[in-house]
Amino acid sequence: MKTKDLGTTAPNTWCPGCGNFAILNAIKPVLADLDEEGLVAIENVVLVSGIGCHGKIADYVKANSFYAIHGRTIPVATGIKLANPDLNVICFAGDGDAYAEGLDHLIFAAKRNIDITTIIHDNRVYGLTTGQYTPTSPSGFLGRSTPAGLEVPPINPLEIVFASGGSFVARGYSHGIELLKDIFREAILHRGFSFVDVLQVCATFFNLYDYYNERVYTLEEHDPRDRDRAEEKMREWDYNSDGPIPLGIFYREDASTFGDNFMKYNSKITDLEGRIRGALEGFL
């Protein structure tokens, strides 16, 4: 499997300079390599996307996919994983998708530590609906629904996922594809709920390339198994005030995952009618 084999005939409609290209161009070689190395067969991969510019990624990768609805990638992905634990399920969701419309699902997926990967295209603005604030937009943000400036500060999604029990927490940036590829690869291979917030720049409505370029740095000498240190690093930047923005894998741990105890229910039973009669006898 080569990267070029993962292309489709769908015309790409993202704006020039869109950060989504970086995510697409990072995930394809990662999937191709994992298949080539025999680690994750491409036919076992299922991509689930939500609604927003990011969602189109489902059309752009020649792999199994479920192009779902706004905010609902995670429950779909959870169902797929529970149905067939052999599948490797990767969610692509936007920040409006995962942090506004579907925040409950994100928290529960982390709590369950379901063995799926969630990659957030966090451009901190609603692009497809032409420029409103999202849960990660900075305070004062001038959006079309907040022309006087956003009154409230953003949430820090890394802290939310960490506090909820996610066992893999990372941040990437759409400028710097090699780091993105490394993170995606580790996230996919991690057993448990893997969460990657990608600072994905919307070139049209909220161009933060210069802002990020001045502030990002890659975590080095960081032990992602150190909970306290991981939390400290997550708090170094709050998505609002100025400060250095760490990138990389903040936290990872080995933990049991939801659905492990479902494995035994995978067999088809014989003599269904007999079992039904047996169950009915209990009600005589």
Partner 1 sequence: MDEFSVLVGGRAGDGITEAGMIIARLYNQLGYCLYQYLDYPSLIRGGHNFAIVRASDKKIGSHRDRVDFLLALNQETIDRHEWRLKESSIVIYDSDEVKSQVDRGIGLPLKTMAKEAGAPAIARNSGLIGAFSGAAGIEEGVVEDVLRKAIPKSIDENLEVARRGREEIDGEEGLKVERRSYPCCPVITGNEIIGLGLLRGGLDAYVAYPMTPSSGILHFLAGVADDFSVKVVHPENEIAVILMAQGFAYAGKRAALGTSGGGFCLMTEGMSLAGMAEMPLVVVVSMRAGPSTGVPTYTAQSDLHFVMNAGQGEFPRLVIAPGDLEQAFCWSATSMGLAWKYQIPVILLSDKTLSESAYSFNLAEARDIPEIGPVHWDGEGEYRRYARTDDGISPLAFPPMKGAVTKANGYAHLESGITTEDAHEIRAVQEKSLQKEKGLKKELEALPAVRTYGDEYGSVALLCWGSNKPVCAEVGERLGLRVVQPVVMNPFPIAQFKEALEGVERKISVETNSTGQLARLVRCIGFKVDDQILKYDARPFSVEDLEERLIEVTR
Does residue 163 belong to the site contacting partner 1 (CB under 8 A)? no
Q: Within 25-64, which residues bind partner 1 (CB under 8 A)?
A: 41, 43-44, 46, 56, 58-59, 62-64
| Nearest-approach distance from CB 79 to partner 1, in angstroms | 2
Contact at 8 Å (CB) between 28 and 46?
no
Does residue 252 belong to the site contacting partner 1 (CB under 8 A)? no
Does residue 79 belong to the site contacting partner 1 (CB under 8 A)? yes
Among 67, 146, 165, 189, binds partner 1 (CB under 8 A): 67
Among 8, 129, 130, 256, binds partner 1 (CB under 8 A): 8
Given the complex with partner 1, which of 148 and 279 has the nearer CB atom? Answer: 279
Does residue 4 belong to the site contacting partner 1 (CB under 8 A)? no
Q: How many CA atoms lie less than 13 Å away from 176 in the CB half-sphere?
A: 20
- Give me the 178-207 binding string for partner 1, x by CB under 8 A, dash otherwise: ------------------------------
Q: How far is CA 14 from CA 22, 78, 207, 215, 248, in A?
A: 11, 28, 14, 26, 26
Does residue 256 belong to the site contacting partner 1 (CB under 8 A)? no
Does residue 271 belong to the site contacting partner 1 (CB under 8 A)? no
- Find, among 212, 100, 209, the residue nearest to 157 by Cα: 100
Does residue 148 belong to the site contacting partner 1 (CB under 8 A)? no
| Nearest-approach distance from CB 173 to partner 1, in angstroms | 27
Stretch binding partner 1 (CB under 8 A), from 16-24, 72-80, 178-186, 211-219: 72-80
**Cα separation, 224 vs 134, whole angstroms:** 28
Does residue 110 belong to the site contacting partner 1 (CB under 8 A)? no
Does residue 257 belong to the site contacting partner 1 (CB under 8 A)? no
- Within 10 angstroms of residue 260's Cβ, the number of other Cβ atoms is 11
Tell me how many degrees the CA angle 263-269-272 measures, rounded to the nearest 5. 145
Contact at 8 Å (CB) between 188 and 88?
yes
Tokens 């049991």, located at residue:
256
- Find, among 102, 28, 39, the residue nearest to 70 by Cα: 102
| Nearest-approach distance from CB 235 to partner 1, in angstroms | 27
* Residues 105-141: b if buried by 16+ CB within 10 A, e if exposed: bbbbbbebbbbbbbbbbbbbbbbeeebbbbbbbbeeb
Task: Give residues in contact with partner 1 (CB under 8 A).
Answer: 8-10, 41, 43-44, 46, 56, 58-59, 62-69, 72, 75-84, 86-87, 104-105, 107-108, 262, 265-269, 272-273, 275-284
